[in-house]
Amino acid sequence: MSKVVGIDLGTTNSCIVVMEGGTPQVIPNQEGARTTPSIVAFTSKGERLVGQIAKRQALTNPQNTVYSVKRLIGRRFSSPEVQNAQKVLPYQIVEAANGDAHLQIDDKVYSPPELAAIVLQKLKAAAEDYLGEPVEEAIITVPAYFNDSQRQATKDAGTIAGLNVQRILNEPTAASLAYGMTEGATGKVAIYDLGGGTFDVSILELNAGIYQVLASGGDTYLGGEDFDQLIINWLVEEFQTENEIDLTGDRMALQRLKEAAEKAKCELSTQAQAEIVLPFISANQSGPKHLNTVLTRTKFEQMIEPLLERTRKPCEDALKDAGLAAADLDDIIPVGGQTRTPKVLETIQNIFRKEPNRSVNPDEVVSIGAAIQTGIMQGDVTDLVLLDVTPHTLGIETKDGTFTSLIDRNANIPTKKGRVFTTVTDNQNKVEVHVLQGEGTMAHENTSLGRFMLTDVAPAPKGVPQIEVIFEIDVNGIVQVTALDQATGRQQNITVRAASGLTQTEVDKARTESDQQLQIEEGLKERDRIVGQLQGLTQSTRKTFELLSAKLTEEERSSATQALTKADQAKEGSLHELQAALSILETTAEALGQAMLRG
């Protein structure tokens, strides 16, 4: 059986882990790092760069460097989150035909799942290098508060990357698995997960190997990126006050500010102040302008306090839904890189009235938990059982635009529930089922997941037909809805992905294109490798030939000259021509070596 990997597809960084001998092992990427920046860049030469190499060139190529794509995945273009993102992200966000947010890079439009898939492909390749075998199965984590569209889009990203996604796992739940397995802990635990772009909280009960999620909450547009943006805004204001120059229209300057903001934020986790120096950030008629300022931890904490207060209500709601008070909790586990910030840890302590347990690595714990779940599913880990919940209420639109719930938030999954509805007009022969997700009392206050039509309803006075609507949520949190006319037995069902997201045809097409692109890139890498070998061998062979020329026969001189000429000509040729020239030159180099021994 091939290995199944656990992947934390993060807003800022991603991580991949595999179970080996019953122990989770973090797989280093091709550069040797344990986490990979979730960044994809497209160069003027048509190359795709992923991870640290993409991050390094962002300064000179901001409009074609994509980061924070997780904050856009599964979202509508018209959503407030996307409209806000447009104001601060350097790349272009466009509206797709189905109303989703897509990204335009040069003359090509990408869906967020396609770009997330490129990051997943890099992780997949790293795992294949590490394991020495193909990797085709994975569990991918998502924020607990992701809705159905965002979960399905994440699953699509895995499919496009060439992975069979066995499970979509909630990030706090994954973190609890890692915490419980490594710490051997029991009791009631809160997972406070503040990452680069999202915030989650989950309340769990750990008892005799059973991990039961009692409640979840969160904010899918709150994280470290927002902390960075506050610093950027402050720097822009400071610079404009001092120099009367607005940097917001300068993409390269904004990218420099972003890098400086992230660096300062990290420094302030261990220092009282951070010095920010950016020479030649701009210029006016009087000459070049430099940014040189100091951000104190006190000022930074004042900036981020409103953001941290936004985490309080989801935590309090989760406790309430779990039927617990803060005093009932045995442990608080901070997860996500942003929880290294002292003010975040202070906020956690204020909310839960208990000092957080910092024993787990906040960058790796989620992916480690995902790998443990692969062990559970494969039977390698036999003493753990996971019981998760759905984070949102699910229901349909009924008369007068009312939202009628069928499955309440924090219901255990998988689950299946039904309810009988009827018609509102006489002889009504079809019924539209509008599927919604959210906590509002009216349909328009919630997220639309899809619509479908049940046709050929038997004619009858209003109120007589019995239409049963059944909601089913699988372990991935993905929804299927069935409508059944009890009089005729006619039914209609959908796996909810109609309102937004990629169609199956689009996913298949994106996967094919992705595979083709990978083949092209592998061909280019192989070509570069052979060119390098050929150049090195040409140089050494030419030196040897010049030293031995007088001792060679006419035939040997002619053969060597032809081989060197062919090698020079092949450098601009096809891969096949390069391989042929290298083979001939290797034979020539061997012959020259024998001639040298001849004396």
Euclidean distance between CA atoms 243 and 413, whole angstroms: 57
Euclidean distance between CA atoms 4 and 167, whole angstroms: 11
pLDDT of amino acid 514? 77
Instruction: Give the alpha-carbon dihedral of 235, 236, 239, 244, to 10 degrees.
Output: -170
Euclidean distance between CA atoms 73 and 220, whole angstroms: 11
Burial of 547 (0-12, 13-18, 19+ CB in 10 A): exposed
Q: Are the C-beta atoms of 38 and 67 separated by less than 8 Å?
A: yes
Whether 496 has a pLDDT exceeding 60, the answer reads: no
Q: With H, G, I as helix, E, B as strand and everything else as coil, classify residue 33.
A: coil
pLDDT of amino acid 599? 57
Question: Which residue is associated with the tokens 């300068």?
Answer: 250
Mean pLDDT of 146-152: 90
Beta strands in 60-176 (DSSP E): 65-66, 92-95, 101-105, 108-110, 137-142, 164-170
Euclidean distance between CA atoms 402 and 587, whole angstroms: 80
Q: For residue 453, give every residue at least 6 positions away whose Cβ sits within 8 Å of its Cβ, in sequence order, or none.
A: 430, 431, 432, 433, 492
Q: Which two tokens stand for residue 31?
A: 């550069």
Bridge partners (DSSP) of residue 433 are: 452
Distance from CA of residue 259 to its chain's centroid? 20
**Dihedral sign (CA 60, 63, 65, 70):** positive
Whether 545 has a pLDDT exceeding 90, the answer reads: no
Q: With H, G, I as helix, E, B as strand and everything else as coil, classify residue 19.
A: strand
Euclidean distance between CA atoms 415 and 470, whole angstroms: 10
pLDDT of amino acid 1? 64
What is the DSSP secondary-structure string of 403-415? EEEEE-TT-EESE
Tell me: the pLDDT tens digits for 205-240?
A: 998 888 999 999 999 999 999 999 999 999 999 999
What φ, ψ does residue 536 adopt, rounded to 5°?
Answer: -65, -45
Over pLDDT 70: what percentage of the chain?
98
Cα–Cα distances in angstroms (integers) from residue 462 to residues 73, 419, 453, 466, 503, in the given order: 41, 18, 18, 10, 36
Query: How does the average pLDDT of the chain come out, rounded?
Result: 90
Nearest to 151 by CA among 554, 412, 394, 449: 449
Tell me: the pLDDT tens digits for 415-468?
A: 999 888 888 888 888 888 888 888 988 998 888 888 878 777 888 888 888 888
Strand 164-170 relative to strand 137-142: parallel, antiparallel, unpaired?
Answer: parallel
Tell me: the pLDDT tens digits for 64-76?
A: 999 999 999 999 9
Tell me: the pLDDT tens digits for 18-52?
A: 999 889 999 999 999 999 999 999 998 888 999 99
Q: Are the C-beta atoms of 459 and 429 separated by less than 8 Å?
A: yes
Highest mean pLDDT among 294-298, 418-422, 458-462, 592-596: 294-298
Tell me: the pLDDT tens digits for 497-529?
A: 544 577 778 888 878 887 877 777 777 778 888
pLDDT of amino acid 424? 83
323 vs 571, more confident: 323
Q: Are the C-beta atoms of 354 and 332 separated by less than 8 Å?
A: yes
The catalytic site residues sit at 8, 70, 171, 193
Q: Are the C-beta atoms of 140 and 117 separated by less than 8 Å?
A: no
Q: Are the C-beta atoms of 103 and 109 separated by less than 8 Å?
A: yes
Mean pLDDT of 364-368: 96
pLDDT of amino acid 498? 43
Full set of structural domains in the chain with CATH: 4-222+310-389 (3.30.420.40), 224-306 (3.90.640.10), 394-501 (2.60.34.10), 505-598 (1.20.1270)
Highest mean pLDDT among 316-320, 549-553, 571-575: 316-320
Mean pLDDT of 264-275: 96
pLDDT of amino acid 253? 94
